[in-house]
Amino acid sequence: MKSSTYRAPVRPEGGQQGQRRPRHDSLLAGIPLSTKLVASMLILLIVGTVGISVAICQMADDYLMKKTDTQLIRQANLGIRNATLLKQEDLSKSGLGPTDYFLQIRDDQLQIIADDLNPMQFNGVVSRPRLPANGTMGSIPLGQPTTVPAYVKVNSKASPDRDSLKRAGASWRVVAMQWRLHSDLEDTDISGVLYIGLSMSDQNEAVHALTTFCLVMSVIVVLLGGVVSALLIQSTLVPLKRIEKTAAMIAAGNLHQRIPSFPENTEVGSLAASLNVMLARIEQSFNEQKRTTEKMKRFVSDASHELRTPLAAIHGYAELYRMQRAYPGALERADESIRHIEDSSSRMTDLVSDLLSLARLDEGRGINTNLPVDMTGLVRDSVDDLHALDPERQIICGTVTVVTETREDPSSPPAPKGRGSAKGRGRARTKPVGRVGVVTSLSLQEGPLPGVEVVGDPSRLRQVATNIVGNIHRYTPSDSPVQVSMGLLNAAIPPEAMARLGSDETGMAHFLDAVQVAQNSRVGTPYLVLRFIDHGPGVPAESRARLFERFYTADPSRAREKGGTGLGLAIVQSIVKAHHGLICVEETPGGGLTFTMAIPQGQVESLRQTPGSAEPDRPGRQSPHSQESVRTSQGLRTHPEPPKQQVGSSGCTPLT
């Protein structure tokens, strides 16, 4: 057997192959942003000031040069026209005073016939231009000013300083001009070349002074600009540092932190506003996830507990039967045990059915919200069921109406509008307008149920009505009155926003606000509003907010006594939310509960005109899209079922 040796691959130095980063990138990455900004500002200031200074000095030098050339040409033309000076043999003996110009005259053979009047002196230092040798023209063109070096001579008795030597050594600007003169004595023309020059010492000093001034000002501007830019950049980056600290606290788990607000017309302010919106959404998502997780844990725990109870009963009665089957009377005891086992099995079956229904609703399955539904017949069936279960109960039917009134004191209760309205009045929504309050509330107008059709799931909407009616039957006295009303109301709120409203008084207040806006603007979405008002013992306020939670019961002992599972209202809420609607529970004035459901009506007419569309759900007929039976409690109807004769006038009794 041969042994093999594993050799690890050799990696190149400095990191993995293909992942080398340029050195300058790593260096720049380690420099703080404020340092980069200040350095960039300093570089821009240096480049700008140096460029401006060079341009100014160059422009000044060019200007002075052009001015010197103009003066030279003017003086040369003046000298050519002055015949008297040309007749002198030695201009130095002409008696003219000292001048800044150098003048030399040559004949047609370029021989010097006259030299400068008085050479320029700087504290004993004589300076003159270095011209071509006698008899030669050199490199100086005619008529074009040219810069030539200086010829400096120091007197033996002089002791010049450094500045004098520097000025004397300055270059000269020289122009050569051809002259011509007619001689009357010899009757001939005399010609030659005239050299005239001007020292550039003054020009050089002016340019040097300007350069020094620009240099000093550039240094001042760069230093001042660096300090100001550093302060401004530091003050500008302060909000970013606050954002960094806030982000660190949020990363540590404090999701309630928010970035301080700044003016939104600035980049930092806009960034802070956007980050705050993002943080709010993240916090909301985390809170929703936390609530969902807690609900899921509680749901699993409650479901396990609820399932364990009937399973324990089944196991206990089976064990009891096994232990007592050898004793006399075992058959009678077996029947009793089997009955208890059947009851526990039925309870567990109902619980599993409700759990399955909730799971399917959560997944968006098991419901078809695109079918026409006759809500009038559906509600009438529920009323008939309640009347059959509680023949002594007074059931008042009617139409949902909107009542809007104003009063000076919004905190005072609204004035009664009649017996029927007072009984059917729900919670009012008050809007203070100055010292006047606008109150919007829902009321019941006695009469038959109006004919209303919606687009939805017939069997699921029937389940909503039967579950609410079942709760009324189980938890209210059989002789307490019940009001049932329905109708169409326009509301200025889209169905998507409607589904996000909470199932509490706040959600109902938002819906009433939307109804009032739609009444004022005469524009809105039609909603079916269905209300069940009982006058039973009611539920405390802290428990009403949790009625739609799964497995929650306000009174567990009564729930076990009545056979409730705590899932009925959770199923109701899931069905209504699937229809993009709202359901909420409020306290009935005088005691009891008021259930209000609002779902969008939808395009019923267009659905009717679609070929092959289902007909509206009618009383006594199974919904065509689903074969799932709708479980009710305490003898309420299930589907499919045969038609039955209605009780009285739709189960409704007149007011007495």
C-alpha dist (Å) from residue 562 to 294, 471, 512, 558: 28, 10, 35, 6
Q: For the ranges 400-404, 429-433, 534-538, 546-550, which has the lowest average pLDDT?
A: 429-433
pLDDT, position 43: 93
What is the CATH superfamily name and number for domain 367-401+447-608? Histidine kinase-like ATPase, C-terminal domain (3.30.565.10)
Whether residue 304 has pLDDT greater than 80? no
Whether residue 378 has pLDDT greater than 90? yes
Please give the Cα distance from 115 to 33 (Å, whole number): 70
SS3 (DSSP) at 277: helix
Whether residue 120 has pLDDT greater than 60? yes
Cβ neighbours around 383 below 10 Å, total: 25
pLDDT, position 503: 86
pLDDT tens per residue across span 500-520: 888 888 889 999 999 999 988
pLDDT, position 429: 52
DSSP H helices in 503-631: 505-521, 541-544, 556-562, 568-578, 604-608
Given pLDDT bands bounded at 50, 70 and 90, which one contains residue 136?
Answer: confident
Q: What is the DSSP letter of 655?
A: -
User: What percent of the chain has pLDDT above 90?
Assistant: 26
Whether residue 367 has pLDDT greater than 60? yes
Tell me the CATH class for 259-366.
mainly alpha
Whether residue 47 has pLDDT greater than 80? yes
Whether residue 97 has pLDDT greater than 50? no
pLDDT, position 532: 96
pLDDT, position 641: 38
Given pLDDT bands bounded at 50, 70 and 90, which one contains residue 416?
Answer: very low
How confident is the model over 394-399, as a mean pLDDT?
A: 94
pLDDT, position 530: 96
DSSP H helices in 180-257: 201-251
Same topology, domains 259-366 and 367-401+447-608? Answer is no
Total residue length of the chain: 656
Whether residue 624 has pLDDT greater than 70? no
| Structure-model confidence comparison of residues 611 and 76, the more confident one | 76
Nearest CA to 273 among 284, 285, 263, 283?
A: 263
Q: Mean pLDDT in the chain?
A: 77
The DSSP annotation for 104-160 comes to EEEETT--EEE--SS-EESSSEEEEE-PPPTT--TT--BTS-EEE-EEEEE-TT---
How confident is the model over 546-566, as a mean pLDDT?
A: 68
Please give the Cα distance from 542 to 538 (Å, whole number): 12
CA angle 419, 422, 427 (to 5 degrees): 170
Domain spans of the chain?
Answer: 82-199, 259-366, 367-401+447-608
Cβ neighbours around 524 below 10 Å, total: 18
pLDDT, position 437: 59
Q: What are phi and psi of 51, to 5 degrees?
A: -60, -45
pLDDT, position 548: 86
Q: Which two tokens stand for residue 341?
A: 């086992």
pLDDT, position 598: 95
Please give the Cα distance from 50 to 215 (Å, whole number): 8
Inter-helix orientation angle 458-475/568-578, to 10°: 150
Q: For the ranges 12-16, 128-132, 220-224, 449-453, which has the lowest average pLDDT?
A: 12-16
Whether residue 575 has pLDDT greater than 60? yes
How confident is the model over 542-568, as a mean pLDDT?
A: 71
pLDDT tens per residue across span 237-263: 888 888 888 888 888 878 788 888 778
pLDDT, position 419: 39
Q: Which two tokens stand for residue 249?
A: 């606290």
User: What percent of the chain has pLDDT above 70?
Assistant: 75
Cβ neighbours around 57 below 10 Å, total: 18
Q: What are phi and psi of 596, to 5 degrees?
A: -120, 125
Whether residue 494 has pLDDT greater than 80? yes
Please give the Cα distance from 258 to 246 (Å, whole number): 7
How confident is the model over 597-625, as a mean pLDDT?
A: 60
Given pLDDT bands bounded at 50, 70 and 90, which one contains residue 195?
Answer: confident
Inter-helix orientation angle 375-389/458-475, to 10°: 30
Sequence-separated (6 or more) residues with CB below 8 Å from residue 123: 158, 160, 161, 164
197 near 140, Cβ under 8 Å? no
| Structure-model confidence comparison of residues 335 and 490, the more confident one | 490
| Structure-model confidence comparison of residues 493 and 15, the more confident one | 493
pLDDT, position 472: 92
SS3 (DSSP) at 477: coil
DSSP H helices in 252-329: 267-324
Please give the Cα distance from 280 to 293 (Å, whole number): 20
Q: Which amino acid is at 108?
A: D
Burial class (CB in 10 A: 0-12, 13-18, 19+), 406: exposed
Please give the Cα distance from 119 to 133 (Å, whole number): 18
Whether residue 3 has pLDDT greater than 70? no
